[in-house]
Chain A
C-alpha cells in the first residue's frame, strides 16, 4: 500500500458490475496530493462510476479506495468532510437563491448559522455571483449555475475535489471560467480528480492523465508522455490501388518504426510519427522508390478516436482476454 500522505487518492483493484456490464474492472489509481489528475476516457469507460465510488455514493464490489487517507467504505463520513463533488449536472436547488443554497449547504456541513452566512458571502464574491446572490437559481445562466455548483463544493475547502465532466455542455466562455477556478484551487493545495472526454481539457488542466477504457487504466502519464506515446502527429497515405495497402503498410512501418494501421474502405494507411517533417519526407521517398502511387499524403494531429483506438489496441495486445476491435 502506498503511503496515504503522499497520495490524496488511491484505488486498488476497484471493481463494479452492473448486470453484464463491468463498469469498473480493476481500476488502480494513485494521485499525488496537490496535483490535478485527469481521467480521460470515452463514454461508458467507467469515469462516473469511479467518481461515485470515491465520493462515497456507491460501494465497490471489490477492491479498495482511500481518499485523503480515509477508506471510502469504512470511513465514509470522514471522507465526506474532505471532499467536494461536482457532478455532471449542477446539483443546486433551483427554487432557492444562490445565497440560500450556499447557506443551506454550509449548515449541512455543520457550520454555525453565522459562519455559514459569512462563508456564503465569501464564495459568492469569489465566484462573481454577488450581484445575482438573491435571485432564484432558475434564472441563472449555465455558467453561473456551474460556478454556484463549484462554490457549494468548496464550502469546507476540501482536500480533494472531484469534477465529473465539469465543462460538458458549457459554452467556451463558461468553460474557461471553470478552468480558471480549478487552477486557482490547485494553487491553494487542493487535489483535483477531473474526468473528461476531451483530450484538450485534460491537456490544459492535468499534471497527469490516466486514460481509462473498459473500467481500467490503459495508459498513464503526463500529457507530454502520453502524446509521445501516441506519437503526436500522424501521417495518412491514401493509395490509388487497394492491392497495394498491405505492402504500403509494411513499408511505412519499417521506415517510421511504428505500427501502421490500414483503413481498407478509405484505402488509407495511417502511422503515428514524432519527427513530423523528417518522417513525411522519408515516407514519400520510400513510396516513390517502391513505385507505389499515392493519391494523397497528409500530416495531421490524431483525432481523439484514434488516440483511444491506439491505446485500447495496445492494451488489448497486452491482455489476451480482451478481443481486438
Chain B
C-alpha cells in the first residue's frame, strides 16, 4: 500500500496545528515511557521521601530552625524545590539517550515540526513534576507539614516550584544535547548535588562561613525555597541581604533568566546538531 502524506501546510495556522499535534505526539511518547517503566517513577519519588524521613526524624532533632519553629515544616519546601532541581537529571538522561541512539536524527530527518521534540519533552516533564509534587505534598502532610496561608498562596508556591522545574528543563535539554551520552550524566550529578545542598534547603546560610553563605543565598534554588516558605507560612530564615529580602521577586526572576538563556541555546543546539 502506498501512503499519500497530507500536503505540507502553507499557512501559519496550519503550521501551528502541526506543531501542536507533533508536540503532543512526543508528549504521549514520554508518558508511555512511564507507563512502561513505573519503577522509574517510583525511584524518582523514593529519593525525596527518604531525605524527608532522614532529615525530618534522624537528623531533625539536632537541626535548629532559625527563628524557632518545627524543623520538618522548615524542611519540606526545601525538599520540594530540590526535587525540582534534580529533575534536570531525568530530562538530561532522556535527551542524551535519544541523541546517542540516533532517535534524534530520525526525528530531524522527518517532516515534523522542529519545535516538537523540545516542546513535547518540556510538557511531559512538567506533567511529571506536577505528579511528583502532589505525592510529595501528601508525604509532607503525613509527617506534619502544613500550609498556613490559604489555598491561594499555596497554589502560588506550587506555581513557583513548577517555574523552577520549567527553567531546569531547558538546562537539561541543552546539556543532554551537548553530552549526547547518557553515561555522562553522572558527571552532571556531581555538579547538581552541591547546588541542591549549597542553599537554604536544609540549614540557614547564616550558619555557613561567609563566602559559602553568600553563594548559598545567591543560589537560584534558595530564592524559590525562601519564597515558598513564605507563601506556605512555614518557618524560614529571613536574612537581611538584598537577595533574601527579595526572595519572592527573585523566585520569578531567576527561572525566567535561566529560561531566557537556555531555551534559545537548547533549540539552537537541536537545530544544528551536526555531530
Contacts and interface: CB of A to CB of B under 8 A. Distances in A.
Interface of A: 52, 55-59, 77-78, 80-81, 83, 85, 87-96, 100, 104-105, 107-111, 115, 119, 122, 136, 152, 155-157
Contacts of A156: 3, 5
Contacts, number: 93
Given A57-B273, A90-B101, 7 more contacts: A58-B274, A95-B33, A95-B37, A96-B29, A110-B6, A119-B3, A122-B1
Nearest to B37: A95
| 8 nearest CB pairs, A to B | A91-B102, A80-B111, A91-B106, A89-B102, A108-B112, A85-B109, A107-B25, A55-B109
Contacts of B103: 91-93
Interface residues of B, number: 30
Contacts of A108: 22, 25, 107, 110, 112, 116
Nearest to B116: A108
B233 to A, nearest CB: 42
Contacts of B2: 157
A107 B111 CA distance: 11
B55 interface: no
Contacts of A85: 105-106, 109
B149 to A, nearest CB: 41
A57 B8 contact: no
Contact of A80 (B28, B33, B109, B273): B109
A55 B107 CA distance: 11
A90 B102 CA distance: 7
Nearest to B8: A77
Interface in B92-116: 101-103, 105-112, 116
Interface of B: 1-3, 5-6, 8, 18, 21-22, 25, 28-29, 32-33, 36-37, 101-103, 105-112, 116, 273-274
Contacts of B105: 52, 57, 85, 87, 91
A94 B102 CA distance: 11
Contacts of B101: 89-92, 94
B3 A80 contact: no
B234 to A, nearest CB: 38
Nearest to B112: A108
